[in-house]
Amino acid sequence: MEISDLIKPHTVFADVKATSKKQALQELARRAATITGRPEREILDVLIERERLGTTGIGKGIAIPHGKLRGIDQVYGIFAKLSTGVDFDSMDNLPVDLLFLLLAPDSAGADHLKALARVSRTLRDKGRCEKLRGSRDTDALYAILTEEDAQSAA
């Protein structure tokens, strides 16, 4: 599974405005509703329920909110770069400014885990995260996120 299987240029967003974790999740849910065709409230409920189990803020300014959603038939990804970092209850207490949302069908067992692992590997790359933070253009963000895909295809 490649990052380009999870996100498309129209699912990458730069300079998203949010002042709190809840507001960031609401903004992701709003955008995900348009992309998935599912109700925003349903998506937000899934994300909040997952956060109750433990934060999806993995540290170093990164969060990977995720959940399983009824009524979708594929794994959807959305990447958002916040204009300013927000408290996400991360393990290292650093504010989060890079979010990668994953929504998987109810029936997706291994695919959901593969997607999480792939996103985690991609965002563990310190140089890549520095490039993401230095870019304000959605096309550039998409290119940075998927550059490994292009290298492995060559």
* Known active-site residue 10: no
Domain total in the chain: 1
Share the mean pLDDT of the chain: 92
30-39: per-residue pLDDT in tens?
999 999 999 9
56-108: per-residue pLDDT in tens?
999 999 999 999 999 999 999 999 999 999 999 998 999 999 999 999 998 88
Range of the domain at 43: 3-146
pTM to 2 decimal places: 0.93
For residue 47, pLDDT beyond 90: yes
Which residues, 6+ apart, have CB-to-CB distance to 71 below 8 Å?
A: 37, 38
Alpha-carbon distances of 132 from 23, 66, 107, 111, 146, rounded to whole Å: 21, 20, 32, 25, 11
Distance, CA of 149 to CA of 154 (rounded, Å):
9
pLDDT for the residue numbered 154: 40
Q: Please tell me which residue in 21, 31, 66, 81 is annotated as part of the active site.
A: 66
For residue 153, pLDDT beyond 50: no
Q: Is residue 111 part of a domain?
A: yes
The CATH number of the domain holding residue 24 is: 3.40.930.10
